[in-house]
Chains A and B, each alone.
Chain A
Amino acid sequence: MVAAQSDASSSDAHRVVITGMGWVTPLGADIDSTWNKLIATQSAIGPVTRFDASTCSTNFAAEVKDFDLKEFLSDESGLHANAGVGTQFALAATISAWKMAGLDTKTSDLKRTGIYLGAGEGGLDYPPYMAANIAGWDHETRKLNSVDWIKKAYEGMQPIAEIEQEPQLASSHISAELGTMGPTLNCMTACAASTQAIGEAFEIIRRGDADVMIAGGCHSMIHPLGMTGFMRLTAMSTRRDDPQTASRPFDNSRDGFVMGEGAGIIILESLQSAKARGATILAEVAGFGSTADAYRITDIHPDGKGGAGAMSAALKQAGIDPSSTDSDGRPMVHYISAHGTGTQENDKTESNGVRSVFGDLAPKVPFSSIKSMMGHLIQAAGAVELITCIQAIQTGIIPPTANLNDLDPACGLDHVPNIPRDMNDSGGVDVCLSNSFGFGGQNDTICIRKFVD
């Protein structure tokens, strides 16, 4: 492609800043309510109410409660009437972020405004789908009769409900709402998706292909087959007697993750564009790293080398040497938002990855998991957790890892157990990493820093 552009990486056009953010999480449908609960170590986990999960080995989850998309929409065009749950979360988070950024569809250059989401697939339309599956089963031959199946499916399954399950429709809805026409992509790299989306959106702006990118993700797998998939993999906690404390990242007693749902959307913008509009800058994106384990579809490489590679690449792009300290002897990274799912394997290998990147300094870097409180938002997790980093930079407070009472020595780093940490008297929080790792060995890390002109 175009070869001969001068290296202008230090100029405002190639610096990318964050000017807006929106949270729809199990702890709340806005920034303040979610944050206040995070730094009060509150859990959003409770019994599943979306469907009857009473006989499931995991019958609890972190659901988004008291959410109504209408409260976010300004008109009643009906365009989003059939949007799936995840898409609704994404729309609400986008509208919140767009407003916070002070953007206006009338004055924005919509061809230079794009979308990059890691939006998950929508939930299935259960009653007619299951009816077709039952009608299609031939009990005598013990095989599917697809003629019977499709007859029942045509009767009950609705076109719009099926089409809304396509994951890219979340970005289609956002574009229809705001009129954006810039680069628009949706990636599905499992639990790493929304971190990857933000990283790739950052690269799109750096390259000059857009001025503003709406980036993040949304997902809800709190539906029968979504939960089934993870129960069959035995990846979820089965602590039915104590769901509130079931998500226990880094603790010896951890027994799997807890399903969450929601959306996290941020507004990325070239510094040039943000300055030109006089926007409030929340943080700067300093680096993005992405690697593949190329190891196994079910397991993470035990050394955590893929995760370490993603962290190292993000730090390298940010120009940060992880083995160096500032004049007070403090590591250069002040907080790592862990992928920290609460599975035996993830937490150990992720900690190994942090150790291999930061060496002797690793125990000095606060490294907590908010999944302990709001569960695992799957494709939305990375974006939601990056917003935690932005909040940490803004407030100087690091959210804790809840339910961490018996630290697994194989993790054994500074996981900020149970009590949030106020860093305002010890230099604040200037540089953060956010990690996301997905099934199949997808590893993504973003580095953000406090904005200094």
Chain B
Amino acid sequence: MRSRVVITGLGPVCSAGVGIDALWQALQEEQSSISTIQNFDASGFRPKLAGEVRDVKIRDFVPKSYRKATKVMARDTELAVIAAKVAANDAGLTTRGSEDSDEGYEIDPHRTGCQIGAGLIAADTEELARAVVSAEDEQGQFSMEKWGTESQGESGMNNLPPLWLLKYLPNMLACHVTIIHGLEGPSNTIMGAEASAILSIGESARVIERGSADICFTGGAESRINPLGLLRWDYSGRLADTKNETDSSKITLPYHNKSSGGIIGEAGGMLVIECEESAKNRDAKIYAKIAGFGSAQSPSPMFAKLQSNTPAETSDRGLEAAIEAALRDAQIDPDQIDVIIPLGIGVPELDQLESNALSAIFDERVGEIPLVLPTHLIGNTMAAHGGIMTALGAKCLYTQCLPSYFTLNHDRSISTQHPSTEVEINTVLVCTSSLGGQAGALVLKR
């Protein structure tokens, strides 16, 4: 007998603010939080705007005894830790990481797992460059001989802190969260660019379903708003050139042929999910049920185009297959989906692939289904995004309200925006594809 899985805690931490209410309000008011990058001087970069998490300090989200350990956290890890704390509080959980003032349901460490979607974490450029220049040769080039440790006391790699590597291992997001909260159940770190968090949430749901845990901390976190991270994502062809832009509202237009491209964001998108029995026994607030999960792969993903000019397909077949699998898992027909939360990255070519996949599944109905879209307001938060999208879906179901939404026109080249509305919502589809062609879909039910 498989357990049913429900969402009981939401912890989105993004440029719109900390917690689901700040994000919800941003969508209600169509308020963009994208602005000129402050994390570092990005004035020389083609993308110069981003959705940054500001005025949030990691110290305020870890127990006092753990403050020292925050020194070895990359920003990605900080965002995961913050979002996990917000989600745990929202779920009313008490863990090893709770302060005395917190009162809630005490978790069983062995029955609590942690699956987090992560991205490729870039080494801190300033820290590395400081060490690298100490190994510069007479020609001004990096010298491996000088970098080595045997001959040089004060130069080369000795300038990097001993725990340097541990800052950049992608599993450190989950490791810090498990250590802080004392989660000893199954743990995993999934990497699939924009699909990471949806895939992680799906994995967590499977872990609970098969009885390996009662509760999971799940979702994703990522920040590419640093020199190397931003360069890499600029190179993916998914970002608009915003060198000369200051008005963020006209750049990313989801599903619109006039959109000039995507915007990067950073976020922690963590949730608490648990088996229905556990949630009911402790009288938890249940936002929604995870009714279905599907994952799939597009055999000709966009990277192939960069490789060898392979012609792109007209529809994202991986996304189609993931949605089909999620609907099958939830035992529902496409007709029963009331709301869709897709990526809507704002790159016309990619949005077309995505909307074509949606219309392959939903047929003519695709123009009628409300699309709830956060991406143009907070940026593409990569490995966190699925957690943000799922939190929105859960809130839609819980409040029976859409914060604002879009609909597609008949040929899906233009979208129309609509204000917040109350409407009966029984089923929400959350889905995305990714740079490498990995795709994931979740069906959420009331």
Contacts and interface: CB of A to CB of B under 8 A. Distances in A.
A and B found bound together: yes
Interface of A: 1-5, 7, 51-57, 59, 77-82, 110-111, 114-115, 121, 126-127, 130-131, 133-134, 136-137, 139, 142-151, 153-154, 157, 159-160, 162-163, 165-169, 171-172, 175-176, 178-190, 196, 200, 203-204, 207, 209, 224-225, 228-234, 290-298, 306, 309, 313, 438-442
A176 B148 CA distance: 39
A163 B435 contact: yes
Given A81-B308, A200-B188, A291-B186, A185 B120 contact: no
Nearest to B157: A228
Top-7 shortest CB links A-B: A55-B148, A229-B165, A440-B175, A184-B297, A130-B142, A159-B235, A147-B44
B16 to A, nearest CB: 26
Nearest to B439: A184
Given A55-B145, A172-B438, 16 more contacts: A55-B144, A57-B148, A130-B132, A147-B44, A163-B232, A165-B232, A166-B436, A175-B437, A182-B297, A185-B199, A189-B189, A200-B188, A232-B162, A294-B182, A297-B172, A439-B169
Contacts of A298: 163, 166
B343 interface: no
B295 A185 contact: yes
B259 interface: no
A50 to B, nearest CB: 10
Which one of B161, B192, B290 has the greatest number of beta carbons of chain A within 10 Å? B192
Contacts of B310: 79
A180 B318 CA distance: 10
A190 B197 CA distance: 18
A309 B109 CA distance: 13
A133 B170 contact: no
Contacts of B293: 1
Contacts of A114: 295-297
Contacts of A179: 299
B165 A185 contact: no
B331 to A, nearest CB: 6
29 contacts: A1-B330, A2-B329, A3-B4, A52-B145, A54-B145, A55-B151, A77-B308, A81-B307, A127-B142, A137-B129, A139-B133, A146-B44, A160-B307, A163-B435, A175-B298, A176-B437, A178-B299, A183-B294, A186-B191, A188-B191, A200-B188, A232-B162, A233-B163, A233-B166, A294-B184, A297-B163, A309-B110, A440-B169, A440-B172
Interface stretch (B26-34, B202-210, B401-409): B202-210
Most B-side CB within 10 Å, residue of A159, A204, A232, A309: A232
A55 B3 CA distance: 56
A171 B43 CA distance: 35
A78 B307 contact: yes
B174 A440 contact: yes
Interface in B316-368: 317-318, 321, 325, 329-331
A171 B193 CA distance: 13
A196 B321 contact: no
A294 B2 contact: no
Contacts of B150: 55-57
B149 interface: yes
Interface of B: 1-5, 40-45, 69, 72, 109-110, 113-114, 118, 120, 123, 125-126, 128-130, 132-133, 136, 140-142, 144-152, 157, 160-166, 168-172, 174-176, 178-179, 181-193, 199, 203, 205-206, 209-210, 212, 227, 231-232, 235-237, 290-301, 303-304, 306-308, 310, 317-318, 321, 325, 329-331, 434-438
Contacts of A53: 144, 148
A16 to B, nearest CB: 13
Contacts of A55: 144-152
Contacts, number: 335
A231 to B, nearest CB: 6
A290 B193 contact: no
A51 B183 CA distance: 41
B130 A163 contact: no
B216 to A, nearest CB: 11
B179 A296 contact: yes
A133 B210 CA distance: 48
Task: Tell me which of B168, B212, B434 has the highest count of chain A C-beta atoms within 10 A of its own C-beta.
Answer: B212
Nearest to A159: B235
B186 A79 contact: no
A290 B296 contact: no
A224 B206 CA distance: 39
Contacts of B72: 297
Contacts of B147: 55, 224, 228
B184 A82 contact: no
Given A2-B331, A187-B191, A207 B174 contact: no
Contact of A181 (B45, B157, B299): B299
Q: Is the interface of B mostly helix, strand, loop or mixed?
A: mixed
B136 A134 contact: yes
A141 to B, nearest CB: 11
A75 B130 CA distance: 45
- The winner among B4, B69, B174, B293 for most chain A CB atoms within 10 A is B174
Contact of B295 (A4, A169, A184): A184
Contacts of B175: 292, 297, 439-442
A147 B48 CA distance: 12
B157 A231 contact: yes
B184 A306 contact: yes
Contact of A78 (B44, B203, B308, B331): B308
Contacts of A196: 188
Given A171-B436, A292-B183, A147 B144 contact: no
Contact of B203 (A154, A185, A296): A185
B157 A232 contact: yes
Contacts of B128: 133
Contact of B436 (A126, A147, A169): A169
Contacts of B142: 126-127, 130-131, 133-134
A179 B297 CA distance: 9
Given A168-B438, A188-B189, A1 B132 contact: no
A81 B306 CA distance: 11
A204 B205 CA distance: 12
B247 to A, nearest CB: 23
B166 A439 contact: yes
A176 B136 CA distance: 41
A169 B303 contact: yes
Given A163-B306, A175-B299, A224-B144, A207 B120 contact: no
Contacts of B113: 292
Contacts of B297: 114-115, 171-172, 175, 180-184
A5 B130 contact: no
Contacts of A184: 192, 295-297, 318, 437-438
Contacts of B166: 233, 297-298, 439-440
B133 A137 contact: yes
B179 A294 contact: yes
B213 to A, nearest CB: 10
A442 B171 contact: yes
A2 B330 CA distance: 6
Contact of B231 (A133, A150, A172): A150
Contacts of A146: 40-42, 44-45, 125, 227
Given A1-B2, A185-B295, A291-B186, A203 B206 contact: yes
B235 A163 contact: yes
